[in-house]
């Protein structure tokens, strides 16, 4: 009996708590519970920093029977305008109205909460439970402020957005404006032209080397078309359309850059494979040269050791190059390029080594097959010394001619002198 008296009040207390929770718990809201917000005062395609902006935003239930669902919850009003003031007037179905205001850097209603975080003002207030016959007719939000400066060429700023407790995220659409940064816009256009030219030049370089750049060139062409349109819109002052075309161009250039990386990666990968094939043939030549040297009676053990070493390194490089294919398939083009270039560099070193050994062996083989004959000293022919007759021949001929004149007359002298001249010419030709 005593236990029953003790438990009865506890059970009653728990029952009251649970029943109270059911009565006062707020229903979860979604976009279908709200009518389309009515925004007045915002209509420009873009704003400049420093412009004054004032507008109204009306929150209403989708239907009259949903009014009661909008109360008994918190509303959080945010704005990223500079020097902003906020005023939210709640009109209840009972005919009453409550005003919540952020002014001069603080909340005017002591029951509300206001704070500033990273330049965004947040004002929080609660609409209490108005009972089953109550609810919310309308919430009028007034926003006044100055358009802030932005870093991007055309940046979206949330002039107003409202969060609601126990509701879907973004249950109420935000009021967003585009803010122009003209200096950045000008710089972005110049930068994107430079980027296009650099990528276009890179595509030509790769194509000249033998890479396939068809896909990259297609993206580059589309990027160039968008850049031209963006430049024209920019000169006309249509910054929204210019920004749209620049965004398209940037996407095309991003794709072109990826395709160029892919083209380069595939090209250097194929190059590495070609170099490995050439090295394979060279190693066969090295092995055949070793056999030829062995048949010629030369000691080749050191060369056989070097061949084994080269083959081992060659096998490792083949395996490394095969694994590079995995990097290509996973679009890790920078890694693939580095691996392939490393393989090519190592193959070139091994190629120099193999060629050196082959040249050494070939020289030794040639020496064995064609020994160099021992040179026989050649005797230098002695120059014959002129005899006395040869030295004095000219004088003797002249003397003989004179004697002939004295003895036999002039005819004999002329004949003798003519013979002398022919003989002298012959001797000089010899």
pLDDT at residue 215, as a whole number:
97
Which of 369, 385, 410 marks a domain boundary?
369
Residues facing residue 97 across a β-bridge: 91
Q: Are 37 and 156 in the same domain?
A: yes
pLDDT at residue 228, as a whole number:
98
Residue 300 and residue 371 in contact, taking contact as beta carbons nearer than 8 Å: no
Q: Are 256 and 166 in the same domain?
A: no
**Which residues of the chain are under the pLDDT cut of 70?**
1-25, 371-430
pLDDT at residue 276, as a whole number:
97
CA distance 59 to 172: 8
Containing 82, the helix (H) or strand (E) segment is strand 82-92
Containing 364, the helix (H) or strand (E) segment is helix 333-369
Residue 378 and residue 356 in contact, taking contact as beta carbons nearer than 8 Å: no
Beta pairing class for 106-107 and 175-180: unpaired
Residues facing residue 142 across a β-bridge: 56, 87
Q: Are 218 and 159 in the same domain?
A: no
pLDDT at residue 409, as a whole number:
42
Phi first, then psi, for residue 155 (nearest 5°) are: -110, 140
pTM over 0.75: no
pLDDT at residue 115, as a whole number:
96
CA distance 145 to 402: 142
Identify the domain containing residue 73 by its residue range. 31-180
Which of 243, 266, 289 marks a domain boundary?
266
Work out the number of other CB atoms within 10 angstroms of the CB of residue 318. 18
Q: Are 168 and 144 in the same domain?
A: yes
* C-alpha neighbours within 13 Å on the C-beta side of residue 214: 1
Which one, of 258, 191, 184, lies nearest residue 219 by Cα? 258
Q: Are 255 and 275 in the same domain?
A: no
């Amino acid at each position: 009996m005593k236990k029953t008296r003790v438990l009865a009040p506890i059970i009653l207390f728990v029952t009251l708590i649970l029943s109270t929770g059911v009565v006062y718990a707020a229903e979860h809201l979604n976009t279908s519970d709200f009518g389309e917000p009515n925004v007045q005062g915002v209509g420009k395609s873009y704003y400049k920093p420093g412009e004054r902006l004032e507008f109204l935003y009306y929150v209403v239930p989708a239907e009259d029977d949903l009014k009661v669902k909008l109360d008994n919850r918190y509303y959080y009003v945010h704005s990223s305008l500079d020097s902003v003031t906020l005023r939210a007037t709640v009109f209840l179905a009972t005919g009453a109205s409550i005003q919540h205001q952020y002014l001069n850097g603080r909340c005017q209603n002591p029951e509300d909460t206001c704070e500033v975080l990273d330049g965004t003002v947040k004002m929080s207030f609660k609409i209490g439970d108005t009972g089953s016959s109550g609810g919310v007719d309308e919430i009028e939000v007034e926003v006044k402020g100055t358009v802030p400066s932005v870093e991007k060429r055309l940046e979206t700023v949330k002039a107003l957005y409202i969060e609601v407790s126990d509701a879907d995220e973004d249950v109420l659409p935000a009021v967003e404006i585009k803010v122009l940064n003209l200096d950045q816009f000008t710089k972005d256009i110049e930068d994107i032209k430079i980027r296009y030219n650099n990528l276009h030049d890179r595509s030509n370089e790769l194509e000249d080397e033998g890479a396939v750049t068809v896909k990259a060139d297609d993206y580059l062409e589309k990027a160039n078309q968008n850049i031209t349109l963006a430049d024209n819109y920019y000169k006309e002052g249509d910054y929204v359309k210019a920004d749209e075309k620049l965004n398209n161009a940037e996407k095309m250039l991003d794709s072109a850059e990826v395709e160029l990386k892919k083209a380069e990666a595939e090209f250097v990968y194929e190059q590495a494979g070609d170099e490995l094939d050439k090295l394979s043939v060279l190693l066969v030549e090295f092995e055949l040269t070793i056999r030829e040297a062995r048949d010629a009676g030369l000691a080749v053990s050191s060369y056989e050791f070097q061949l084994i070493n080269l083959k081992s390194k060659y096998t490792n490089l083949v395996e490394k190059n095969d694994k590079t294919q995995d990097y290509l398939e996973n679009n890790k083009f920078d890694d693939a390029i580095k691996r392939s270039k490393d393989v090519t560099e190592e193959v070139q070193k091994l190629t120099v080594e193999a060629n050196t050994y082959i040249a050494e062996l070939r020289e030794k083989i040639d020496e064995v097959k064609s020994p160099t004959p021992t040179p026989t000293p050649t005797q230098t022919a002695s120059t014959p010394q002129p005899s006395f007759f040869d030295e004095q021949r000219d004088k003797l001929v002249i003397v003989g001619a004179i004697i002939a004149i004295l003895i036999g007359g002039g005819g004999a002298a002329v004949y003798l002198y003519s013979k002398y001249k022919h003989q002298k010419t012959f001797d000089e030709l010899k």
